[in-house]
Each structure stands twice: as C-alpha cells, then as structure tokens.
Amino acid sequence: MRQHSGIGVLDKAMDVLDAVAEAPCTLAEICERTGLPRATAHRLAVGLEAHRMLDRAEDGLWRTGARLAELAQAARDPLLEAAAHVLPRLRDVTGESIQLYRREGIERVCVAGAEPRTGLRDTVPPGTRLPMSAGSGAKVLTAWADRAVCAELLHGARFTDRDLADVRSRGWAHSVAERAEGVASVAVPVRDRQGRLLAALSVSGPTDRIGRRPAAHWAGELIAAGEALERLL
C-alpha cells in the first residue's frame, strides 16, 4: 500500500498518477481505481496534464506523460545501478543477450541490457518498447501484476491465465517464437525487499542455438542473477 503524506491534494494527485500508470484509462476508470469523485479526478488529471505528468490522446484515454520519463532519467535508480554489475556477468555465463524489462501501462520497456560481443544475437536496445502480449518478459510482468491489471493485459495476449499460474508456480517463464520468429527466451521476476515486483530479467537468443526448451539451459542462472539484483537494492 502506498504511503500518504497527509497533504490531501498531493496524495490524491498521486492516486491519479498511480491509476493511470497501471494502464491507460478513461476518466471513469480513474474514478473507479482511485475512489475519487468525478469532478475531483477530472480537476487533478487536467492539472497533471498541464504539467506534462499525464497526457490525453485522441482516443480519450489518459496516459503517463513525458515529464515523468524526464524526471525518472534525472533520478538515482538503484535497480539500474545493480543491473550494471549483474547483467554483464549473466551475459558472460550464458553467452546470450540479456534484458531487464519494466512494465509501463500496456507496454514493457527494456531499461537495461547486455549483449554478447560476437555471434548472432537478439538485440533489444534500452528504451525499446514491446507489447505485453507475448514473450517471457511479458508473462512475468503480467503474472505478478495486480489482479485487475492482469485481467486487462490478458485480452489479446498469446498466453492464458492458466499459463500465468504455471509461471507463478515455477518462478520463471519461457517463450519460443512468440515475440519474434526464431527467438527463444526465459525470464524471472526481480522484486524489492518487500517482495513487490520491480522488473523482469530475461535471457534470449536464437532458437537454433538455445533450443526450444531454453529454461533447461538458463533458468537456474537467471534465478541466481535475479536474487543477486535483489541483494544489491
């Protein structure tokens, strides 16, 4: 549960930001997610839009705004600092491409990566945005999402609620030719010290090289690397 400052308007504005960050939504959905009256939610959303913290598209849905990304770039990010130590070591162990994904609404964003120096690779540069409908990283980020968000993300996904239950049971997800033809991957969750999901750590590479059961190769190494990230936070 998010802490409150005791400053009413600030806490309500944060509630609106949190609601939109879950997934792009209408004003009615903001009210449903926050419990705020429609007039209050609208006033706060418009104010946040004026400061570019929120953005309203032609389809009428509210989304997080560019100013949030700008502020995030200026802030210290313990996860990315930890990733700078852990991801290169994981790349050297596996010899494959490594990615760290965070969910932003209905997309996942590669926030860090490490690529092998030679050979065929699955390059996903930091900043790349991918849909949440396919791939091992998407499965991990969906499996441990809030129940309502999980249900929303399952619409149009190439995996099912049963698949996500298996992911939670195993502690990892895999995919073969879901996101891109000829690519296989395995991903594990990365959590903070309170057990909340922060990101998905993934190893990916050509199916011809790592086979159609990539977890048999790299699940153990990924789990260890995810735990190493968590210890550094």
Q: Poorest-confidence range of 39-48, 118-127, 131-140, 217-226?
A: 118-127
Query: Is residue 62 located within the same domain as residue 84?
Result: no
- Report, as an integer, the average pLDDT of 128-137: 94
Q: Are 79 and 233 in contact (CB under 8 A)?
A: yes
> Which CATH number characterizes residue 14's domain?
1.10.10.10
- In sequence order, what E strands does the chain have? 54-56, 62-64, 97-104, 107-114, 129-131, 173-176, 183-191, 197-206
N-term to C-term CA, the chain: 19
With cut-offs at 50, 70 and 90, classify the pLDDT of residue 120. low
Nearest one of 180, 192, 166, 188 to 133, comparing CA atoms? 180
pTM confidence score: 0.70
Q: For residue range 28-87, list pLDDT tens digits in order.
A: 999 999 999 999 999 999 999 999 999 998 888 999 998 887 787 777 789 999 999 999
Q: Confidence band (pLDDT; 50, 70, 90) for 211? A: confident
On whether both 55 and 98 belong to a single domain, the answer is no
d(CA 102, CA 15): 20
Structure tokens belonging to residue 171: 């502690």
CATH number of the structural domain spanning residue 169:
3.30.450.40
